[in-house]
Amino acid sequence: MRKVAFVTGGSRGIGRAVVRHLAAEGCAVGIDYLQARDQALALERELREQGFECLAVQGDVSDREAVTAAIRQVEEAFGPVSVLVNNAGIAGQRQFQDLTDLDWRRFFAVNLDGAFYAIQAVLPHMLHEKRGAIVNVSSIWGLRGASCEVAYSASKAALIGLTRSLAMELAPSNIRVNCVAPGVIHTDMVEVLGAETLADLADQTPMGRLGTPEEVAAAVAFLAGDSAAFITGQVLTADGGFIL
Ligand code: NAD
């Protein structure tokens, strides 16, 4: 049976790789984007040319109405969402004493509230069908500390807490909730750190390199798919051994 997936922050980086992977597996995919309309439409075009079903929709995950409306647009096109990937996220480095209220709220609004809103938008149908898979993209920095990344790290740790508790709550309804915690992955998000820091992070990674978006997408697709039918509440690291 064809599944309908919704991927937040799907126009680039890890989200785009997840969209491509799920589409190739036969899902109809909603590609949520914030501002990168051109990139999202290019991805939509690329996948349609390959014969896949997808739809690019604008939706700020930190705005309940916006993300819910984006999900409804995808549901109108393809039917109810049974796979939700909460991938949208923001990162940033700042010393703790310099964090403003606004900074703090923004990290939590995108990285945590975004998942809360999107999950609540897809849940009624999942509960009705007693079927669904939710994958939250956390981070290794949600599992261990990161200097100058307190807000990011705290929001990603909270996402892991959400995952575990919600997995328990939804398990009787056959809805699985899991997390992928990527290590350092070569995307626009980490590009800002500069070549020297990235080389240092690659050195700190036991596998001696940064990960690729496709490698994270494979972990997300595994948890979203039927091969993981008895797996819920887990945090799967895709980090080249970084936090072992
Ligand atoms: P990225 O910056 O390329 O992608 C993030 C995506 O989220 C972008 O498309 C962005 O537009 C979108 N986004 C941001 N705010 C949004 C909002 N309010 N509403 C909708 N979309 C929004 O970075 P990425 O590396 O592909 O990151 C994807 C996810 O993986 C993020 O949650 C990130 O925290 C997580 N992650 C990344 C790394 C890494 O090393 N790259 C490591 C661990 C975790």
Are 53 and 29 in contact by the 8 Å Cβ rule? The answer is yes
Are 68 and 121 in contact by the 8 Å Cβ rule? The answer is yes
- Within 6 A (CB) of ligand 1 lie 8-9, 11-15, 32, 34, 36, 60-62, 87-91, 110, 137, 139, 182, 184-185, 187-190
- Gap from CA of 133 to ligand 1 centroid (Å): 20
Strands 235-238 and 132-137: unpaired
User: Residue 177 class from Cβ within 10 Å (0-12 exposed, 13-18 middle, 19+ buried)?
Assistant: buried
- Gap from CA of 128 to ligand 1 centroid (Å): 30
pLDDT at 162: 99
- Gap from CA of 110 to ligand 1 centroid (Å): 10
Residue to probe by mutation, ligand 1, list 6, 11, 14, 57, most atoms within 8 Å of CB: 14
pLDDT at 1: 84
Would you give per-residue pLDDT tens digits along the chain (244 residues)? Answer: 899 999 999 999 999 999 999 999 999 999 999 999 999 999 999 999 999 999 999 999 999 999 999 999 999 999 999 999 999 999 999 999 999 999 999 999 999 999 999 999 999 999 999 999 999 999 999 999 999 999 999 999 999 999 999 999 999 999 999 999 999 999 999 999 999 999 999 999 999 999 999 999 999 999 999 999 999 999 999 999 999 9
Q: What is the CA radius of gyration of the chain?
A: 17
Q: Is the pTM of this model over 0.95?
A: yes
